[in-house]
Amino acid sequence: MTAEDLGLKTATELVSMTTSGEVGSRELLDHYLERVERLNGDINAIITFDVERAKASAATADEAQADGAQLGPLHGLPISVKDAIATEGIRTTGGATELSDHVPTADAPVVASVKNAGAVVFGKSNLPRWSGDTQAFNDIFGTTNNPWDLTRIPGGSSGGASAAVAAGLTSFELGTDIGGSVRLPSHFAGVCGHKPSFGVVPQLGYVDHETVSQYGGIIEADVNVFGPLARSVDDLELVFDVVAGPTHDRATGWKLDLPTARHTEPGQLRVAAWVDDPICPVADDVGALLEATVAALADAGASVDSSARPGVPLDEVWNTGLPLISAATTPARTAEEFARQVADSDDASLDPTARMRASASAIRHRDWLLLNERRQEHRLRWAEFFRHHDVLLCPVSASTAFPHQHDGNLYSRQITINGATRPYADLIAWTSFIGYVHLPSTVVPVGLTPDGLPVGIQVVAPFLEDRTGLAVARLLEQLLGGYQIPPMAQLGSRTV
């Protein structure tokens, strides 16, 4: 790797360099800004900058290092943050024109945590309006492109985040995930991502609806979590350790003490593999890589059961998971949109997916409580399943990254997979199925398809056993290589 590609190193490698003095934080920041200058015009991943304050923070890190001190486990690492997470003094829009001039007066707790650990925030990354799509485009900042193929999506909603990490424009990223918004972009752009157990990482400061500008993001959305995207599983755990913990109002009496990984050696692992299902079949090229991943783990000595299931069928994502997610995102609807959803909830002529979304958006509290009761029953089935299995391997999405598609919305578009036209919402079925029951899931790249597009796999672990999932993802990374550099991001081999 040449000096021009320094920014493609993992965050773990880079923090070793900044703390030892091999590379200064200001030097590293300048390097990332140069990479942004050369690549971001094509990718459009980072859309707002705070360079002068970042330079001052980087200088503080360098002064501390010169005095023999370390600011924390993320000492001097320049980073960008998804534009749905509040950053003090930096415009934070949620991708919505209503908040195009919104500048928070306080950091979200996760941002405060990474800053306190030594990270240097220099910019914000792109996303869809109110984080509500598997793509990353909006009326303020335009479209983010995938570094593997600029005509294709980088995923969403943390699409600017995944593209920035993949192209080496930042040392790591902070994203959000309610229906797969960390995991889908990780899969589509070929990076690592971790969706923590629900409630483990504070999600205050989430900019997902207009009144956040008035109240400051003081509530935590159902199902939603904040999590890291990075170029290695070690990086995910490094950042996860920094941001995990109770919210400030609970810290007086609560302490987070997550268990260590159940096993780290493949011969000890009990793995369930569910890599395809007729309810939401995956593309042939995706399925081939997922099957090869399962085989590699079995060859390494793991006990693999490809018939084990948690007692919750995949179609419950349509009956329980997506309704809960749609209900949780209701505050983002305008008054006119909400009124239309209320009217549509009684329209029997609508297709089932559209009517489900409308009914969930207009749900009565009694019905939500009954839906939540069904979720809790599903969570008990998952807990029983994980008594006999350490992790579940399953797809992230049915497809690889596809060409940009801006007409319509998440529930009205269609996509072609294996020659068949399917609902666009199928893209989020596997991630939503895991998310609504609060389970942790780590995505790690497992290879490229014959047409050169990355594929990731979900490593799903028991609730609060995030470290077990991270450990198995690390093993897969070692077996299969993990993150690969997109050709356009290898500046040292390019003539510019």
* Domain range for 141: 1-496
E strands, 149-247, are 173-177, 192-195, 225-230
Annotated active-site residue 157? The verdict is yes
The whole-number pLDDT of residue 356 equals 87
Question: Which runs of consecutive H residues, i.e. helices, occur in 267-351?
Answer: 284-299, 316, 322-328, 335-344
Give the pLDDT mean for 407-411: 89
Active-site hit among 157, 359, 397, 432: 157
Give the pLDDT mean for 375-402: 98
Give the pLDDT mean for 453-473: 98
For 90, phi and psi rounded to 5 degrees? -120, 130
Q: Cβ-count burial of 495 within 10 angstroms (0-12 exposed, 13-18 middle, 19+ buried)?
A: exposed
pLDDT tens column, 276-314: 999 999 999 999 999 999 999 999 999 999 999 999 999
Q: CA 211 to CA 330: how far, in whole Å?
A: 12
Let me know: does 378 contact 315? Beta carbons within 8 Å. no
Q: CA 59 to CA 359: how far, in whole Å?
A: 53
The Cα diameter of the chain in Å comes to 70
Lowest mean per-residue pLDDT among 330-339, 351-360, 381-390, 482-491? 351-360
Annotated active-site residue 20? The verdict is no
The dihedral built from the CA positions of residue 211, 155, 495 and 31, taken in this order, carries a sign that is positive
Report percent pLDDT > 90 for the chain.
Answer: 92
- In this structure, what CATH number is given to the domain that contains residue 484? 3.90.1300.10
Active-site hit among 55, 82, 124, 195: 82
Q: Is the pLDDT of residue 435 over 50?
A: yes
The whole-number pLDDT of residue 496 equals 37
For 319, phi and psi rounded to 5 degrees? -85, -30
Give the helix, strand, coil percentages of the chain, each rounded to 5: 40, 15, 45
Report percent pLDDT > 70 for the chain.
Answer: 99
Let me know: does 112 contact 68? Beta carbons within 8 Å. no
Q: CA 81 to CA 27: how far, in whole Å?
A: 20
The confidence band for 384, taking pLDDT boundaries of 50, 70 and 90, is: very high
Q: CA 151 to CA 365: how far, in whole Å?
A: 43
Whether the bond between 345 and the residue before it is cis, its omega within 30 degrees of 0, is: no
DSSP codes joined into one string, 208-224:
-STTHHHH-S-S--SS-
Q: CA 95 to CA 137: how far, in whole Å?
A: 8
Give the pLDDT mean for 384-407: 98
Q: Is the pLDDT of residue 157 over 80?
A: yes
The whole-number pLDDT of residue 494 equals 59
The confidence band for 495, taking pLDDT boundaries of 50, 70 and 90, is: very low
Tell which residue, 225, 242, 240, has the closest CA to residue 178.
225
pLDDT tens column, 120-139: 999 999 999 999 999 999 99
pLDDT tens column, 218-273: 999 999 999 999 999 999 999 999 999 999 999 999 999 999 999 999 999 999 99
Q: Is the pLDDT of residue 1 over 70?
A: no
Q: Are strands 173-177 and 225-230 parallel, antiparallel or unpaired?
A: antiparallel
Give the pLDDT mean for 430-442: 98
For residue 301, CA distances in Å to 78, 108, 263, 422 come to 39, 43, 13, 37
Calculate the average pLDDT of the chain.
Answer: 96
The whole-number pLDDT of residue 347 equals 87
The confidence band for 60, taking pLDDT boundaries of 50, 70 and 90, is: very high
For 146, phi and psi rounded to 5 degrees? -80, 125
Active-site hit among 181, 326, 397, 441: 181
The whole-number pLDDT of residue 265 equals 95
Annotated active-site residue 493? The verdict is no
Residue that wins the pLDDT comparison between 236 and 338: 236
The whole-number pLDDT of residue 409 equals 87
Q: Is the pLDDT of residue 430 over 50?
A: yes
CA angle 387, 374, 277 (to 5 degrees): 65
At 24, the amino acid letter reads: G
pTM exceeds 0.95, yes or no: yes
The total of structural domains in the chain comes to: 1
